[in-house]
């Protein structure tokens, strides 16, 4: 069995270990993104599967970044008992220096709710609704449980990244429920051409029989993730780093292949805020 995978990010070829991953298989001869399963279906950017859209002015972005900084500093202080005087998101790695401490932090930051933030973060949802032209909710339709908010923290030159994946796959594989949500990825700190989120444009339009993936947990470079790992799509392995600026939101279909957000910066932590929202 081949326990390696090769991907190309913006023409840069990289090899990763997949040892420990579930088996890779092809899916059925069907496209899962349809008008009834993908709430982005009628968006003007649907053919590509994503868009970077303006939604905060400079002052609003500064307020958001300050709020995220205070919230993460509080988590670092509480979970790791570390001093956070002078804390900045870009220099997170200088405060949280060990993998063990980092794991404590991200065990919280990948599963956050409105009350975990020091500012009214849910005030962002009406802005997302305006961009989408529809009502949005953080409640999962079949259970009415609130979907969590994620702050992604990706240290420089680290393995702090997911393998390529589609966010819909966990619900598809475990519950037989297809899609129904949109992803919103907001750059907060350290996001540039060396650290932005890679995407596979138009991959939501592929048949599942063209996508080689796991149907259980995916493992990359020794780290195991609940997401299903995609190894190739239509015989390809190319991803493109998104171009998204401060004050913008990268909005994309839950059916789009994305991930492998390697932070190639030498001394800059990358931080992004993520929502997953459903049609209200």
Does residue 1 register a pLDDT over 60? no
pLDDT digits (tens, 9 = 90+) for 199-234: 999 999 999 999 999 999 999 998 899 899 999 999
Residue 223 located in a structural domain: yes
Q: How far apart are CA 8 and CA 23, in angstroms?
A: 22
Over residues 47-66, mean pLDDT: 97
pLDDT digits (tens, 9 = 90+) for 146-163: 999 999 999 999 999 999
Report DSSP letters for the chain, one per residue: ---EEEEEETTEEEEEE-TTPPPEEE--SS----TTT-TTTTSTTTTTTEEEEE---HHHHHHHHHHHHHHHHHHHHHHH----TT--STTHHHHS-SHHHHHHHHHHHTSB-GGGSSS-GGGGHHHHHHHHTS-EESB-TTT-PBPPBEEEEE-TTS---PPSB-TTHHHHHHH-----EEEEEEEEES-STTTSPEE-TTGGGS-GGGEEEESS-EEETTEEESSPPEEEETTB-EEEE----TTEEEEEETTS-B-------SS--EEEEEEEEEE-
Does residue 256 register a pLDDT over 80? yes
Number of domains in the chain: 1
Over residues 61-90, mean pLDDT: 97
Residue 112 located in a structural domain: no
Tell me what pLDDT residue 2 has: 67
Residue 46 located in a structural domain: yes
Tell me what pLDDT residue 180 has: 84
Domain that holds residue 20: 4-56+122-145+157-279
Does residue 144 register a pLDDT over 80? yes
Structure-block tokens of residue 72 = 């993460």
Residue 88 located in a structural domain: no
136: confidence class by pLDDT, cuts 50, 70, 90: very high
pLDDT digits (tens, 9 = 90+) for 93-110: 999 999 999 999 999 999
CATH number of the domain residue 173 falls in: 2.60.120
Tell me what pLDDT residue 223 has: 87
142: confidence class by pLDDT, cuts 50, 70, 90: confident
269: confidence class by pLDDT, cuts 50, 70, 90: very high
Tell me what pLDDT residue 207 has: 98
Does residue 85 register a pLDDT over 90? yes
Tell me what pLDDT residue 3 has: 87
Residue 114 located in a structural domain: no
Does residue 23 register a pLDDT over 80? yes
Of 180 and 106, the one with more pLDDT: 106
Mean pLDDT rounded to a whole number for the chain: 96
Contact present, 196 and 187 (Cβ < 8 Å): yes
Residue 80 located in a structural domain: no
Residue 238 located in a structural domain: yes
pTM, two decimal places: 0.96
Residue 94 located in a structural domain: no
């Amino acid at each position: 069995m081949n326990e390696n995978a090769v991907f190309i990010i913006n023409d840069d070829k990289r090899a990763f270990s997949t040892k420990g991953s579930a088996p890779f298989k092809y899916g059925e001869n069907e496209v899962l993104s349809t008008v009834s399963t993908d709430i982005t279906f009628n968006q003007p950017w649907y053919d590509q599967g994503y868009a970077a859209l303006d939604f905060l002015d400079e002052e609003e972005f500064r307020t958001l970044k300050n709020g995220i900084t205070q919230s993460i500093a509080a988590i670092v202080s509480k979970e790791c008992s570390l001093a956070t005087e002078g804390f900045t998101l870009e220099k997170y790695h200088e405060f949280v220096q060990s993998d063990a401490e980092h794991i404590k932090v991200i065990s919280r930051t990948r599963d956050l709710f409105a009350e975990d933030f020091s500012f009214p973060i849910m005030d962002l949802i009406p802005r997302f609704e305006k961009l989408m032209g529809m009502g949005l909710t953080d409640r999962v339709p079949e259970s009415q449980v609130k979907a969590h908010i994620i702050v992604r923290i990706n240290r420089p030159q680290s393995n702090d990244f997911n393998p390529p994946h589609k966010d819909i796959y966990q619900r598809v594989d475990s519950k037989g429920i297809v899609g129904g949500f949109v992803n919103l990825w907001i750059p907060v700190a350290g996001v540039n051409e060396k650290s932005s989120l890679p995407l596979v444009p138009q991959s939501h339009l592929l048949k599942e029989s063209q996508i080689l993936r796991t149907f259980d947990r995916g493992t990359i470079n020794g780290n195991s993730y609940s997401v299903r790992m995609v190894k190739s799509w239509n015989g390809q392995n190319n991803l493109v780093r998104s171009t998204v600026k401060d004050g913008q939101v990268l909005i994309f279909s839950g059916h789009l292949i994305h991930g492998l957000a390697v932070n190639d910066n030498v001394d800059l932590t990358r931080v992004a805020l993520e929502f997953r929202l459903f049609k209200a």
